[in-house]
Amino acid sequence: MTRKKETLSAEYFDALYASDPDPWKFASSAYERDKYAKTLAALPEPHYASALEVGCSIGVLTRELASRCDALLAVDAAEKPLIEARRGCADLHHVRFEQMRVPEQWPSGEFDLILLSEVVYYLSADDVDRLASRVANAMARRADVTLVHWTGETDYPLTGDEAADLFIKVMGPTMFVDRHDRYPNFRLDVLRRR
């Protein structure tokens, strides 16, 4: 399998969603349900004032995360999954969705939780640096960042381990790893502000 060198484009994701409205089976996969449960259980705080979920896709995890937040902004690079995410979370008035391509685009405001679930490995190493800078500038005084990444083979620019390790290294001056869990197919890292 040949790995891509550059950050995956919005067109890459548009093509995936054009051929399948749920290409990773977020709504039906036992793997995804287990991963979501472990992700939510790993969050250090029971509740967050303002959270950001990068790469929300069709909003399955967004819906579960919403009960732990006063305000939740969920973003994705592709437009099609956001339509389904808005529909699925229409009754959650404290959740909003925006289409944006991270790290080039970034929302304003501060967040005490930033969730990067299965997204950092879509970026080139240079864009991981840019993402880390964006995250550092968007953190509230007390903030947590949660990373979740598949550790199997992909054709993405980075492996799950490379992506998480690089992000953690770049965030080193501002955050420490509070939790690192490895599972058969994914890893979960929780970083807390120093």
Q: What is the CATH number of the domain that holds 107?
A: 3.40.50.150
Residue 87 lies in a domain: yes
Q: Long-range contacts made by residues 139-142, C-beta under 8 angstroms, separation at least 24? A: 139/110, 139/111, 139/112, 139/114, 139/174, 139/193, 140/49, 140/50, 140/110, 140/111, 140/112, 141/193, 142/112, 142/193
pLDDT in tens, 86-123: 999 999 999 999 999 999 999 999 999 999 999 999 99
Residue 1 lies in a domain: no
pLDDT in tens, 9-47: 989 999 999 999 999 999 999 999 999 999 999 999 999
Residue 78 lies in a domain: yes
Residue 5 lies in a domain: no
Residue 2 lies in a domain: no
Angular region, 14: left φ>0, alpha ψ -120 to 50, beta rest: alpha
Residue 60 has pLDDT above 90, yes or no: yes
Residue 152 lies in a domain: yes
Residue 4 lies in a domain: no
Residue 186 lies in a domain: yes
Q: How many domains does the chain have?
A: 1
pLDDT at 177: 97
Domain interval for residue 181: 10-193
Contact indicator for 51, 65 with CB cutoff of 8 Å: yes
0.95 cut: is pTM over it? yes
